[in-house]
Structure 1
Amino acid sequence: MSQDSILVAIEQGVATITLNRPDSLNSFNADMHEALRNALDQVSQDSSVRVLVLTGAGRGFCAGQDLSDRNVAPGDAAPDLGYSIETWYNPLIRTLRDLRVPVICAVNGVAAGAGANIALNCDIVLAARSASFVQAFCKLGLVPDSGGTWILPRLAGMARAKGMALLGDKIRAEQAEAWGLIWRCVDDDALAEETRKMAEHFASQPTAGLALIKQALNASTTNTQDEQLTLERDLQREAGQSEDYREGVAAFMEKRTPHFKGR
């Protein structure tokens, strides 16, 4: 499947979605939002998919919202940005969070505004050494959206979150790794290969169990310890009834490589 602004490829359990408006640094307009929503629906309904890779075409990952798609000329009525967030950005973040497979974001260049926060809300973030993350909202008099005010303090701490959000400075990939914002920074020419290796790894793993891990970790940010202990009990009960668990134990006992079926 391909649409002008979104490219989708599914092969051997790996789904790759590429943001494809390179002339505008893959910034979002309404058509791109709709195409991405359709692509994620396709991925979520395809039982062969065991991992999703999200990346961008050209020299950047995503510059956030395409400001030319919003009419803010003098004298015109102010746009309802809350409508845009509720219609497009919030559902996107929720979909990435709740997707029943690991989501790898390969940040191949600048990730700014909503583009930065979309990347940071993925499960694993690999970034090219030349990539950067910019909370550009403050330079427009806006508030970080797409989960930015939620994810930044949890990943980097409140002091760094406030610095990024209030100053809008460019955070280089190496610094993002050191701060715990991303999983790993790699050389530019190694990003594609590192992403491929990680995707192939996930495609061979017990996907249903990984989905339960995502569910548990996501819940931990708001659960009390007692609530989390109860959730772990319930999820472990579910995981223990899976064929993949049986296969994992059998392979361990037989000293062989397991062959997981995933979903």
Structure 2
Amino acid sequence: MGDSNGFVLVDRPRPDVAVVTLNRPERVNSMAFDVMVPFRDELRRLGDDNEVRVVVLTGAGRGFCSGADQSGERGRMPNIDGLTGVTIALRAMELLDDIIVTLRRLHQPVIAAVNGPAIGGGLCLALACDARVAAESAYFRAAGINNGLTASELGLSYLLPRAIGTSRAAEIMLTGRDVDAVEAASIGLVSRVVPDDQLLDSCLETAADITRWSRPGIELTKRTLQDSLDAASLEQHMHAEGVGQLLVRLMTQNFEEAVAARKEKREPRFLD
């Protein structure tokens, strides 16, 4: 197991899967800078690691991430010497925004293994992942409204309506109420709910299912799924999908290998 200052742990339970754990359980993995800075840096390193095909993100202890750190000990932002408070605040938001964007831009699919609370920025982290699996103890809250602020932060008002629909997202964001794991599954916020002690194993099984397939096929599927959120029209998006499909079809022997594997009743071996 590797680590970045102890607050971010990286484990390799299998050679092609990395499990990233936010590791400040006494603060329910809140988004203090001494956690978020190494977290961002670790994501960047994983994005450049061609041995990693899937990333699983989770939290240590009893929670996934409780959002903004309210302890008063938020750590120190890097590179702020000589800046005033307002500029430091802007840089802080840029840092947190960068984490959301980095999760989305990773070549690898990211699975959120949501244990316990995912509150405020923690909900945003989960939404930035490509898939979400909830433990029975998980719950979600758009907490900004509870704190006298707006409920919109770190892309929440963009990502949540696209995950569960505008009406449900508005009701959850405006009321600040908790959404438990069962409800989260029923509205499509998570793909499934599993017992707490089976959460990581369940996500690793999904990761193994993903890594069976072609690398460009998986990476292009992630990219087109995200691009679909911003597509101006169905026709425009189908053109983009078609280019990706043609690229893999014409530049690899993957299709021929898949056909042969089915005929021979074996697992395909995609060489891309």
Which TM-score applies when normalising by structure 1? 0.90
Verify the 8 A CA contact 1:100 1:208 in the aligned structure 2: no
Structure 1 equivalent of residue 3 of structure 2: 2
The CA deviation at 1:62 is 0.2
Deviations 1:25-56 (A, max 9, x none): 00011121111112112211111111100000
Call closer, same or farther: CA 1:110–1:242 in 2, change over 3 Å. Answer: same
After superposition, the CA RMSD in angstroms is 2.1
Structure 2 equivalent of residue 256 of structure 1: 266
Q: In 2, Cα distance between the equivalents of 1:246 and 1:142?
A: 55
Structure 2 equivalent of residue 99 of structure 1: 106
Call closer, same or farther: CA 1:215–1:149 in 2, change over 3 Å. Answer: same
Structure 2 equivalent of residue 125 of structure 1: 132
Which has the larger displacement, 200-209 or 246-255? 246-255
The CA deviation at 1:189 is 2.3
Verify the 8 A CA contact 2:33 2:74 in the aligned structure 1: no
230, 233, 248: which one pairs with 1:239? 248
The CA deviation at 1:69 is 4.3
Structure 1 equivalent of residue 82 of structure 2: none
Call closer, same or farther: CA 1:245–1:37 in 2, change over 3 Å. Answer: farther
Structure 1 equivalent of residue 226 of structure 2: 218
Structure 2 equivalent of residue 166 of structure 1: 174
**1:31-180 to 2 correspondence within 5 Å?**
31-67=34-70, 68-69=72-73, 81-86=89-94, 88-143=95-150, 144-180=152-188
SS at match of 1:60: coil
Verify the 8 A CA contact 1:70 1:79 in the aligned structure 2: no
4, 18, 21: which one pairs with 1:15? 18
SS at match of 2:111: strand
Q: In 2, Cα distance between the equivalents of 1:228 and 1:78?
A: 40
Q: In 1, Cα distance between the equivalents of 2:43 and 2:271?
A: 22
SS at match of 2:64: strand
The CA deviation at 1:79 is 8.1
Q: In 1, Cα distance between the equivalents of 2:99 and 2:256?
A: 34
SS at match of 2:56: strand
SS at match of 1:201: helix
Return the letter of the residue paired with 1:126. V
Structure 2 equivalent of residue 74 of structure 1: none
The answer for unaligned runs of 5 or more in structure 1 is 72-76
Which structure carries more relative contact order (alpha carbon 8 Å, separation 6+)?
1
207, 213, 216: which one pairs with 2:215? 207
Deviations 1:64-121 (A, max 9, x none): 12132469xxxxx6786443222x2221111111211211110011000010111122
SS at match of 1:9: strand
Call closer, same or farther: CA 1:81–1:246 in 2, change over 3 Å. Answer: farther
Q: Equivalent pairs: percent with the same residue?
A: 37
Q: In 1, Cα distance between the equivalents of 2:92 and 2:73?
A: 11
Q: In 1, Cα distance between the equivalents of 2:203 and 2:24?
A: 21
